[in-house]
Structure 1
Amino acid sequence: MTTVAEAASWARDLEALAIRISPRFCRLEARERARRYLAGLLAPLERKNGWQLAEAAGDASPDSVQDFLARMRWDADAVRDDLRAYVVEHLGDPDAVLVLDEIGFLKKGERSVGVQRQYSGTAGRIENCQIGVFLSYAGRHGYALIDRTLYLPQPWAGDEERRRTAWVPETVAFATKPKLGLTMLERALDAGVPCGWVAGDSVYGTDSAIRRTLERRRVGYVLTVTSGQRLWPGTVSDWVEEVPADGWHRLSAGDGAKGPRLYDWARLPFRGAPEGWSKALLIRRRLGDGELTFYLTCAPEGTALADLVWVAGARWTIESAFEMAKGEVGLDQYEVRSWTGWHRHITLAVLAFAFLTVLRKAAIKGRGPSRLGGRLDPADRARDSTPASPPPASADSRHLRRYRLVILAKTSSAESKAIALEAPYQNR
């Protein structure tokens, strides 16, 4: 149970976060509105819409909330940069995984910026919705969303009247989801975000520009591709026959709601990697029905199969982050129609979710909330960085996961009995 002292300390930490982003707001009124908006997103309200956020702030109507999101002068992209720095300060891990994914926001009508009938992975079908592309940060201290952008479909990008009504900046042109994802990746890497890996689904894995950029920047990746992905001399699905009888290994990609996510995995190397690195096709076989999933990987030479499996499993953290951010900070409960309003609400919601992640980290480690405002002392850093088992020796060992997965069994059959393991990557 939360004590009065703990609650007061958390309030002070939230106040410190509001002060941290305050230079991004030109006027005192906007700064106060930002603090109240964050507090409302974190409050136990039934919904985090304009009316309820206004009531929580003591306003008689949602006009001030709408004015804050639409008309007051402040820079949401600068707040995004503050968010990224905040996450790195508290959750930074040199072996972390940057994860790309998108989420659909169901909408009625046609006036909300970027809305149209399009496929939503969230709904699993074509719906009237907006699509947001996100970048998350997942490491041994927790995971949080660190970047976001709204996907603007071609019909919107080429319609001057709709752009004007929705306040879409003139500098914003049509860009594919992989292009938007690559822009966010480069922004994070240029800012020095510590990480060793990138993961993403086939929307991003099939994009060669993303893979080439990561290879050039010497960042490892485990990216999902479709079964029809070309890989000479055929497609990735043709390579399954090349897996030897003893080439399948039963591993857990981390814990899910029902325990370890167990699959059979195989790795088939292929040429074309930068010096000191290796490329491979990673194949996941589902137990029971044998359904296959394919990944293209690039990793430092000597990287264990278990490390690649861990990175593949880390992709699920962004889906968990979406669900928690919806339920806890109202990520999808906005009532704005403009480009500016969408990015402002989403940025502050993601910042509120990062704050909760930092609180969880402190609680799990047994530290009091008063420690949230500062960095770890040298003793803490030394203790936290001790590996559970030595990483594989290589010139690029700084990229390898310090907490290693445990191989359960070497098997040619999905029916082989698995040895119990201790999963190193827990849902937080």
Structure 2
Amino acid sequence: MSGGLPDLDIWLEPFLAAVGHKKRRLWAPLYLRGLLGPSERKSLQPMAASLGLSGHDQLQHFVASPAWDDAPLWQVLAEQADRLVGGSRAALVIDDTALPKKGSLSVGVERQYCGQLGKRANCQALVSLTLASAEVPVPIGLRLFLPEDWVDDPERCAAAGVPEDEVVARSKGAIALTELDRLTTARVRFGLVLADAGYGASAAFRAGLSERGLTWAVGIPRNQKVYDADVQLVPPGGRKRRPVPDREPEDAEAVLANQSWRRVTWRQGSKGPLAARFAATRIRVGDGAVWANNRHLPGDEVWLVGEWRSSGERKYYLSNLPPRTSLRALAAAIKARWVCEQAHQQLKQELGLGHFEGRFWTGLHRHALMTCIAFAWLQHLRLAGQRPTGSGKNAGLGSGTATIAEPASSAPSYHGAAAHRPDHANPMPALQAQAQTTA
């Protein structure tokens, strides 16, 4: 035990081996202790003060220096996360999180939607990937989204230290797929990919998941065009040469309006059962080639799922889970996405993800990396049945120190799901086994 952080140095050994350089092996654990310590704000000066340092220059050099490559640390984080929660029952949750910022000099800052504030505001947006199982999340990817105004201004990007090969227009979905490929190369195991409508609305994103042989469930807007599953392509009339659908596409909302909605409990929460009304049917998504008036040909057959919440709000989803998947299994898979929001909140509130005050690309990403490593260590402690020093149910590592919330008493799992590996990406027999009736 060292500095009130039990076994941290031992747990960090693979990370320190990847860091290599002697001075970085010294400052990496100190930076983590600053994030995990009692300082209310996790920017450099408060962390240095809490560590008893005479100044913060060395911490700043460690986190901001572009002279060393932190990719090996992201690799070790992926390996440790896989060891903690990876496997056939795990889900990989793709989302994004916003960091409110003042001014216009911080890399990637732009007026855009900020979920933390619930409105458009000056902020940085990070695409996030979180590995989760049994409601235990471990963030393993945080990558800055560059708004169009930044991409169109190479000088501004250069001033903020953005690497030249990153100064390209890329959607959040494209960034997520690149990060997913990195995790695949790292052999991170999961059985399902989840994302909200910000990603699921993109046909290119869904196609990217399917092309990688992945099982997925994603949110969509209510006006997503879909066809009946038995739609047929027929010879065209008039001068048209390409076959056309024998019926018109409809909005997802309209298709499910006539379906039977059933109350489904997907798991037991800490305050009782979590339930809502759901409906589901097999459809073909209108995301093929354009055939007339911006209407698209039918694409793959998938599930269309609707959720009718107690507030009256309705949400819509697509999933390529197998045809015999039960409604309860569909609901449990879709609702497993919420755990990434808990992880984002704890990264910000407990570990200071948004407290970094530097303006540069390297510093932001390295600070994000260190918060993820700190988060993974706390999950390691929790899963090992340990509590940081202190006493009581919510004891931390000292007053004001980071802790990770306990999961709900009964978490959903994907029993028997096939593990995703680079050479082995099968559907989830877990859910097939559960599914005895078609919703």
Q: TM-score, normalised by structure 1?
A: 0.79
Aligned to 1:423: none
**Cα contact 2:2–2:9 (8 A) shared by 1:** no
Quickly say closer, same or farther: Cα 1:69–1:9, change in 2 above 3 A: closer
Q: 1: distance between equivalents of 2:109 and 2:269? A: 33
Query: What corresponds to 1:338 in structure 2?
Result: 360
The residue identity in structure 2 corresponding to 1:162 is R
Q: Work out the CA distance in 2 between the residues paired with 1:293 and 1:50.
A: 41
Question: Post-superposition shift, 1:404?
Answer: 6.7
Which residue in the other structure is 1:57 paired with? 51
Q: In the alignment, residue 202 of structure 1 is paired with which amino acid?
A: A
Q: What percent of counterpart residues are identical?
A: 32
Q: Distance in 2 between matches of 1:398 and 1:316?
A: 20
Give the equivalent residue in structure 2 for 1:400. Answer: 430
| Structure 1 position 95, deviation (Å) | 2.1
The answer as to 2:274 corresponding to 1:261 is yes
Residue of structure 2 equivalent to 1:177? 172
Write the mapping of 1:3-402 to structure 2, written as runs, cut at 5 A.
11=5, 13-71=7-65, 73-140=67-134, 142-172=136-166, 173-232=168-227, 233-243=249-259, 247-254=260-267, 258-271=271-284, 279-289=302-312, 291-363=313-385, 398-400=428-430
| Aligned residues: CA RMSD | 3.1
Moved over 6 A (4+): 387-393, 402-405
Matched position secondary structure for 1:47: coil
Higher mean alpha-carbon deviation, 330-339 vs 24-33, is at: 24-33
How many Å apart are 1:42 and its aligned residue?
A: 1.3
The answer to whether the 8 A contact 1:76-1:343 is kept is: no
Q: What are the superposed Cα offsets for residues 283-302 of structure 1, whole Å, 9 maximum, x if unpaired?
A: 1011253x211000111343
Amino acid at match of 1:114: G
What is the CA–CA distance in structure 2 between the aligned matches of 1:80 and 1:255, rounded to whole Å? 34
8 Å Cα contact 1:137/1:146 also seen in 2: yes
What is the CA distance between 1:323 and its match in structure 2? 0.8
CA distance in 2, matches of 1:103, 1:56: 27
SS across alignment from 2:385? helix
Instruction: Measure how far apart 1:320 and its partner are.
Output: 0.3
| Paired residues of 1:95 and 1:401 also in contact (CA < 8 A) | no
Structure 2 gaps of 5+ residues are 228-248, 286-299, 388-411, 419-424
| Cα deviation 1:43-64 (Å, max 9, x = unaligned) | 1222211112112333212222
- Is this contact kept in 2: 1:117–1:127, CA < 8 A? yes
Distance between the aligned counterparts of 1:339 and 1:114, measured in 2?
Answer: 8
TM-score for the superposition, normalised by structure 2: 0.77
Aligned residue for 1:400, secondary structure, equals: helix
Deviation at 1:331, TM superposition (A): 1.4
SS in 1 for 2:103: coil
- Deviation at 1:219? 2.0
Kindly tell me: are residues 361 and 10 of structure 1, through their superposed partners in 2, closer, same or farther at Cα, counting changes over 3 Å? farther
Residues 1:136 and 1:237: Cα distance change in structure 2 (over 3 Å): same
Q: Distance in 1 between matches of 2:99 and 2:417?
A: 42
- SS at 1:329's partner residue? coil
Tell me if the contact between 1:197 and 1:220 (Cα under 8 Å) persists in the aligned partners: yes
Q: Deviations over 1:292-318 (max 9, x none)?
A: 110001113432222221111111100
Bigger drift between 214-223 and 318-327 goes to: 214-223
Closer/same/farther in 2, CA of residues 57 and 399 from structure 1, 3 Å limit: farther
Q: Secondary structure at the match of 2:320?
A: strand
Read off the aligned partner of 1:250 and give its amino acid letter: R
Q: 1:189: Cα distance to partner?
A: 2.6
The answer to whether the 8 Å contact 1:220/1:298 transfers is yes
Question: Cα distance 1:208–1:177, how it changes in 2: closer, same or farther (>3 A)?
Answer: same
Could you say what secondary structure the match of 2:38 adopts?
coil
The residue identity in structure 1 corresponding to 2:139 is: L
**Aligned counterparts of 1:10 and 1:59: Cα–Cα separation in 2:** 17
Q: CA deviation at 1:261?
A: 2.7
What secondary structure does 1:293 align onto?
strand
Cα deviation for residue 175 of structure 1 reads: 0.9
Give the C-alpha shift of residue 19 in structure 1.
2.1
Query: Once the 2 structures are TM-superposed, how far is the Cα of residue 237 of structure 1 from its aligned partner?
Result: 1.2
Q: After TM superposition, list the pairs within 5 Å mapping 1:412-427 onto structure 2.
A: none
Is residue 192–residue 215 contact of structure 2 (8 Å, CA) maintained in 1? yes
Quote how far apart the aligned CAs of 1:12 are: 5.5
Give the drift of 1:207.
1.4
Deviation string, structure 1 residues 150-191 (Cα, Å, up to 9, x no partner): 011111112122112110001102211111112122222333
Provide the secondary structure at the position in 2 that maps to 1:303: coil
Alpha-carbon distance between aligned partners in 2 of 1:30 and 1:389, rounded to the nearest angstrom: 40
1:404–1:198 Cα change, 3 Å: same
Task: Tell me the amino acid that sits aligned with residue 284 of structure 1.
Answer: E
Name the CA distance, whole Å, in 1 between partners of 2:37 and 2:223. Answer: 47
Structure number having the greater helix percentage: 1
* Letter of the structure 2 residue corresponding to residue 171 of structure 1: D
- Distance of 2:434 and 2:36 partners within structure 1: 35
Q: Partner of 1:260: helix, strand, or coil? A: strand
